[in-house]
Amino acid sequence: MKDIEVSADVHGASLSSPMKNLIGMKQTYEDRLRLILAALLFMAASCATASTALAQNGWTATRRGEEGKDLNTVFFADQKRGWVAGDNGFVSRTDDGGRTWAQQPVGTNEAINDIYFRNKDDGYILAGNRIFNTRNGGAEWREIRRFSAGEFGGAEPELYSLRFSGKKRAWIVGAASRRDVVVDSLLIYTDDGGASWVRQRVPTKEELIHVDFVSDKLGWAVGASGTILHTEDGGQKWIAQTSGTNATLYHIDLRNERVGWAVGERGTILRTTDGGASWSPVVVPVRSTFLSVQFVDEDQGWIVGRGGTILRSEDGGKTWVRQESQTKQNLYALFIDKKNGWAVGGNGSVLQYER
């Protein structure tokens, strides 16, 4: 190898051609290394972005109901057995976690507003002014009670939501209307597993839309004009809680005796950490009407609503991010368990989410 000559000029040392060539080769190698590293970093970032997108876009949409008809409610008794129900008395059941569905006859053409199972066999349906029950997982449904206008001063009853608070005690909320105008609220209960039903008077005439119990004593109901009702004695007495809004509230979900959420029209989300003694609004950049909310633990929760809106929270409902639903259909109901999420809505839409 020839000696490397170094000469000086007024600016300092200058390098001979062999050294320049060696340095040029080194710089070319370093440039290539930088390009490789940059490419690897780009690929890693792309994978992370794709994973994030997949997490945010994990809902897949299919149609399981009748075309042009809404699915209004969904319930799963376990990870495999579930039901969806909606307009024209439509009910469909899956026994394999949603891979296949089979329609079940109920015996009504009324829209089904709610479906609720105590276990894989014992279930209830609310359709118009009627209550249906099954003891064999929906293979057969029988009407167990029909309410008439004569029982409510000539006003037509509509039943919206049903929940059990004990082994034999259940609650139903709804409204009584004349010429499609709500004139009174409805709160009805049974103490004998549905053999008989009794109306309970409450301090509001507003339409009641959803009811939830966390124990045999503690329950809440929500409805029109920001109505929130609460009982601490198993329903013997109901008191009004201050919601701070006049927006219609469509759904309420309590995780325990203190922490819960309520959602409604005009992007309304309310949160309580003291059992409803106070409700605080949660501001989100979405003005859609929210129709259902459910939390699976203290941190993780979902909301669905009109226009295919789906929101998710991972901090107990303090903040929410939007998820891609793959649909613009209204989403009326939501069910989330440890592994899967389900949402149902317009045009027979069924959305599944794998957590």
pLDDT digits (tens, 9 = 90+) for 254-308: 999 999 999 999 999 999 999 999 999 999 989 999 999 999 999 999 999 999 9
The C-alpha atoms of residue 268 and residue 195 are separated, in whole angstroms, by 37
Please state, for a pLDDT cut of 70, what percent of the chain lies above it: 84
Task: Specify whether the CB–CB gap between 253 and 271 falls below 8 A.
Answer: no
Query: Has residue 93 got a pLDDT over 60?
Result: yes
Residue, of 355 and 36, whose pLDDT is higher: 355
State how far Cα 256 lies from the chain centre.
17
Residue 5 buriedness (CB in 10 A; 0-12 / 13-18 / 19+)? exposed
316: left (phi over 0), alpha (psi -120 to 50) or beta: left
Segment 106-162, tens digit of pLDDT: 999 999 999 999 999 999 999 999 999 999 999 999 999 999 999 999 999 999 999
State how far Cα 199 lies from the chain centre.
29
The C-alpha atoms of residue 323 and residue 174 are separated, in whole angstroms, by 31
Segment 299-345, tens digit of pLDDT: 999 999 999 999 999 999 999 999 999 999 999 999 999 889 999 99
Query: Has residue 44 got a pLDDT over 90?
Result: no
Closest CA to 80 of 101, 61, 63: 101
Query: Has residue 15 got a pLDDT over 70?
Result: no
Query: Has residue 52 got a pLDDT over 90?
Result: no
Q: Where are the domains of the chain?
A: 6-51, 60-354
Instruction: Please tell me the least confidently modeled range out of 47-51, 94-98, 222-226.
Output: 47-51
Instruction: Please tell me the least confidently modeled range out of 13-27, 83-97, 120-134, 143-157.
Output: 13-27
Predicted local distance difference test score (pLDDT) of residue 58: 85
Predicted local distance difference test score (pLDDT) of residue 31: 59
Query: Has residue 171 got a pLDDT over 80?
Result: yes
Burial 114-149 (b: 16+ CB within 10 A, else e): bbbbeebebbbbbbbbbbbbbeebbeebeebbebee
Average pLDDT over residues 37-56: 44
The C-alpha atoms of residue 215 and residue 230 are separated, in whole angstroms, by 12
Mean pLDDT over the full length of the chain: 88
What are 48-57's contacts with CB under 8 Å, separation 24+?
56/312, 56/321, 56/323, 56/324, 57/323, 57/324, 57/326
Residue, of 5 and 92, whose pLDDT is higher: 92
Residue that is written with structure tokens 């669905």 in the block: 304
Predicted local distance difference test score (pLDDT) of residue 106: 97
Predicted local distance difference test score (pLDDT) of residue 338: 84
Predicted local distance difference test score (pLDDT) of residue 65: 87
Segment 64-82, tens digit of pLDDT: 888 899 999 999 999 999 9
What would the CATH number be for the domain defined by 60-354? Answer: 2.130.10.10
Query: Has residue 25 got a pLDDT over 80?
Result: no
Instruction: Kindly state the greatest CA–CA separation across the chain.
Output: 113
Q: How confident is the model at residue 354 (pLDDT cuts 50, 70, 90)?
A: confident
**Confidence (pTM):** 0.84
Tokens of 213: 């119990």
